[in-house]
Amino acid sequence: MPVALATPPTSPLFRVAHAPDPLAWPDWRFVGGSRFDDPQDRFRVLYLAEQRVGCFIESLARFRPDLDLLARLAAVTGTTAPLPVPVVPADWYTRRRVGTLRLLPGQRWLDLRAAETLQALRSEMAATLVSLGLPDFDVSAARGPSRDLTRHVARWAFERDFQGVAYRSRFADDLDCWVVFEGAAISPAGPAEAIVPDDVDLLAAAELFGLTIEP
For residue 59, report the phi and psi dihedrals to the nearest 5 degrees: -80, -35
**Confidence bin at 162 (pLDDT 50/70/90):** very high
pLDDT above 90 for 12: yes
Please state, in angstroms and rounded to a whole number, the distance separating the CA atoms of residues 88 and 198. 13
Whether omega for the bond prior to residue 2 falls within 30 degrees of 0, making it cis, is no
Rg of the chain over all Cα atoms, to the nearest angstrom: 19
pLDDT above 90 for 25: yes
Question: Beta strand 96-103 with 186-188: parallel, antiparallel or unpaired?
Answer: antiparallel
In a domain, 3, yes or no: no
In a domain, 195, yes or no: yes
In a domain, 95, yes or no: yes
Interval 6-10 mean pLDDT: 96
pLDDT tens string 30-80: 898 899 999 999 999 999 999 999 999 999 999 988 777 777 766 765 555
Residues making up the chain, counted from first to last: 215
For residue 69, report the phi and psi dihedrals to the nearest 5 degrees: -65, -45
**Confidence bin at 24 (pLDDT 50/70/90):** very high
Domain count of the fold of the chain: 1
Mean pLDDT of the chain: 93
In a domain, 196, yes or no: yes
Please state, in angstroms and rounded to a whole number, the distance separating the CA atoms of residues 167 and 144. 12
Percent of the chain past pLDDT 70, that is, above it, reads 95
- The DSSP annotation for 108-147 comes to -EEETTSHHHHHHHHHHTHHHHHHTT-S--SHHHHTSS-H
Q: Contact at 8 Å (CB) between 88 and 206?
A: yes
In a domain, 152, yes or no: yes
pLDDT tens string 75-99: 765 555 666 789 999 999 999 999 9
The model's pTM is 0.92
- Residue 139 gets the label, from left (phi > 0), alpha (psi -120 to 50) or beta, of alpha
The pLDDT of residue 72: 74
| Amino acid (1-letter code) at residue 164 | G
Q: Which domain holds residue 118?
A: 13-213
In a domain, 208, yes or no: yes
